[in-house]
Chains A and B, each alone.
Chain A
Amino acid sequence: MSERVLMKGNEAMAEAAIRAGCRHFFGYPITPQTEVAAYMSKKMPKIGGTYLQAESEIAAINMVLGAASAGVRAMTSSSSPGISLKTEGISYIAGSDLPCLIVNVERGGPGLGGIQPAQSDYWQATRALGHGDFHVLVFAPSTVQEVVDLVFLAYDLAEKYRMPALLLSDGLLGQMMEPVSFPDPVEKFAEKPWAANGHQNKRPHNIINSLYLKPDELERTVVERFARYAEIEAAEQRYQEYLCDDADYIIVAFGATSRVSQSAVDTLRAQGIKAGLLRPVTLWPFPKDAIRAHIPHVKSFLSVEMNMGQMVDDVRLAVEGKVPVEFFGRTGGVIPRPSEVVEAVMKVAGGDR
């Protein structure tokens, strides 16, 4: 591990990707993500890597498809409107079973929206990051250190399962500085016998493709992929709990809102209300098993988000109607105050008194 330094989330993310072995970055500037690309443009030429500012987001994601086909650790980053443009390419990457790292430093939407922090791309990230039957791994860091740690994990799991990984950050995490230390650079990489990187007449050539014109053949590839998704759902649900064991009310929140919610839990506990926080670290696979484990003792769950209520759907799917699931959120780039979250829990608790 390196010495602790104070760094912006966006810059720490770029440095982490480089240390994780990324040498191919393709991007296009957009607030509040631009520091990722700026950092890459400074660093990559010095270490023999490629930084390329593409002519558009669509071009950038297709360059990632090309680089990933050759088996290297490739990356692109953008913010909400730019991610929408990338979704076609992401679908192709998923359909070609390629690993890569995609970053969304979310801002308010829809449309051009605003440039302040938001979590309103949850549905897009977990449901439809492109057309067709597929998932991507979705990681939601809540501190700058976790941004770094999850970059490494995202690459590892993307390669293990041969699928794209999305790091879902937001303007708050991207712009803030916190102390961070970096793991040692990755030097050994997984074998990629599928990569189209030159067969030198020693093996049959590999084809990277997402086109299957025969329905039964396409169905078979999709069903095989979903068998892998089932494995991932069983093995890779990640989350963190704070004071959940005896909680009457559990707040479910990820990323920036989990920090606000943790402050709210402390305030509620000081007032004698047994509140806890369950923070999903992976949004897909969603940590439904952890949520279900608390159903026997909680009176209700409260999903707190910077949107109009998106992750709350997944909480409800996990809970299956066994206890009430409520929602509190702010949107458009407004960061909820801890006091608002306290009030929202009080309102839920009020009904029980």
Chain B
Amino acid sequence: MKDWNFVFAGFGGQGILFAGKVTAYAGMMEDREVSWLPSYGPEMRGGTANCSVCLSSRPIGSPLVLEPNALVVMNNPSYDKFIDTVAPGGVAVIDSALVDRKTGREDITVRYVPATRLAQENGIAKLANLIMLGALWKATGFASAEALQAAIQKVVPPSKQELVELNWKAIRIGAGG
């Protein structure tokens, strides 16, 4: 399987770190080497948040992703900060309901997904992050459907298992059915 170095970025509170965690768990379900590294600092709700996630067939060197081969962005400041860091040939998934820019880069695959609007329309307003994850999954195929489902099961706390179905619904919306 292909090695992936992801950056997930957006506002604090959008579930950016959670989306990264699901991704890392999916890799772990397939017995791959994985790492998840959050940015940390004097940040607050509404401030920017991002995390690096690596899935690899070999032990992971630096867990800090500087040139992602796939990027998920959910706000303008993150778009501005990371769009030029995407490795040539890579993928960028952009929440076009919140990011009003369009990239001129032709060396990467870009998916504009109005995730935040889609989440509201589908009555799952807090799950735009997983709609984005679904779009990322569709664009990259970073793990099997089984691994991704198992990851959601793991990451959702046992006391909130009723959310597993909603999370999967969000991923399916992002993946386009």
Assess whether A177 is interfacial by the CB under 8 Å rule.
Answer: yes
Q: Count of A residues near B, CB < 8 Å? A: 24
Assess whether B124 is interfacial by the CB under 8 Å rule.
Answer: no
CB neighbours (8 Å) of B38 from chain A are: 175-176
Q: Indicate which residue in A116, A171, A177, A263 contacts B62 across the interface (CB closer than 8 Å).
A: A263
CB neighbours (8 Å) of B36 from chain A are: 6, 176-178
Nearest Cβ in chain A — how far from B60, in angstroms?
Answer: 7
CB neighbours (8 Å) of A31 from chain B are: 40
Q: How far is the CA of A349 from the CA of B5 in the complex (A)?
A: 30
Q: How far is the CA of A178 from the CA of B60 in the complex (A)?
A: 10
Assess whether B150 is interfacial by the CB under 8 Å rule.
Answer: no
Whether A177 pairs with B40 at a CB distance below 8 angstroms is: no
Nearest Cβ in chain B — how far from A273, in angstroms?
Answer: 17
Whether A179 pairs with B61 at a CB distance below 8 angstroms is: no
Whether A172 pairs with B63 at a CB distance below 8 angstroms is: yes
Per-position 1/0 for A309-353, Cβ under 8 A of B: 000000000000000000000000001011000000000000000
Whether B61 pairs with A338 at a CB distance below 8 angstroms is: yes
- Within B39-79, the residues touching A (CB, 8 Å) are 40-42, 59-64, 66
CB neighbours (8 Å) of B42 from chain A are: 115
Most B CB contacts (10 A, CB to CB) among A177, A178, A262 go to A177
Most A CB contacts (10 A, CB to CB) among B21, B41, B42 go to B41
Assess whether B37 is interfacial by the CB under 8 Å rule.
Answer: yes
Assess whether A75 is interfacial by the CB under 8 Å rule.
Answer: no
Q: Indicate which residue in A177, A259, A261, A266 contacts B24 across the interface (CB closer than 8 Å).
A: A177
Whether B37 pairs with A172 at a CB distance below 8 angstroms is: yes
Whether A260 pairs with B21 at a CB distance below 8 angstroms is: no
Q: How far is the CA of A32 from the CA of B37 in the complex (A)?
A: 13
Most A CB contacts (10 A, CB to CB) among B21, B34, B36, B42 go to B36
Assess whether A228 is interfacial by the CB under 8 Å rule.
Answer: no
CB neighbours (8 Å) of A335 from chain B are: 62, 64
Q: How far is the CA of A263 from the CA of B41 in the complex (A)?
A: 26
Assess whether B167 is interfacial by the CB under 8 Å rule.
Answer: no
- Given the known interface contacts A6-B21, A6-B28, A335-B62, the answer about A178 and B35 at a Cβ–Cβ threshold of 8 Å is yes
Q: Indicate which residue in A177, A261, A263 contacts B35 across the interface (CB closer than 8 Å).
A: A177
CB neighbours (8 Å) of B40 from chain A are: 31-32, 115, 171, 175
- Given the known interface contacts A32-B40, A172-B37, the answer about A179 and B62 at a Cβ–Cβ threshold of 8 Å is no
Q: How far is the CA of A261 from the CA of B24 in the complex (A)?
A: 23
CB neighbours (8 Å) of A172 from chain B are: 37, 63-64
Nearest Cβ in chain B — how far from A295, in angstroms?
Answer: 26
Assess whether A297 is interfacial by the CB under 8 Å rule.
Answer: no
CB neighbours (8 Å) of A260 from chain B are: 61-62
Whether A338 pairs with B24 at a CB distance below 8 angstroms is: no
Nearest Cβ in chain A — how far from B134, in angstroms?
Answer: 20
Nearest Cβ in chain B — how far from A312, in angstroms?
Answer: 21
Select from chain A the residue with minimum beta-carbon distance to B62: A260
Per-position 1/0 for B151-166, Cβ under 8 A of A: 0001000000000000
Nearest Cβ in chain B — how far from A38, in angstroms?
Answer: 14
- Supply 11 A–B pairs (Cβ within 8 Å), ascending by A: A171-B40, A172-B37, A177-B24, A177-B36, A177-B37, A178-B34, A178-B63, A179-B28, A179-B34, A261-B61, A338-B61
Residues of A within 8 A of B (CB): 4, 6, 31-32, 115-116, 143, 171-172, 175-179, 259-264, 266, 335, 337-338
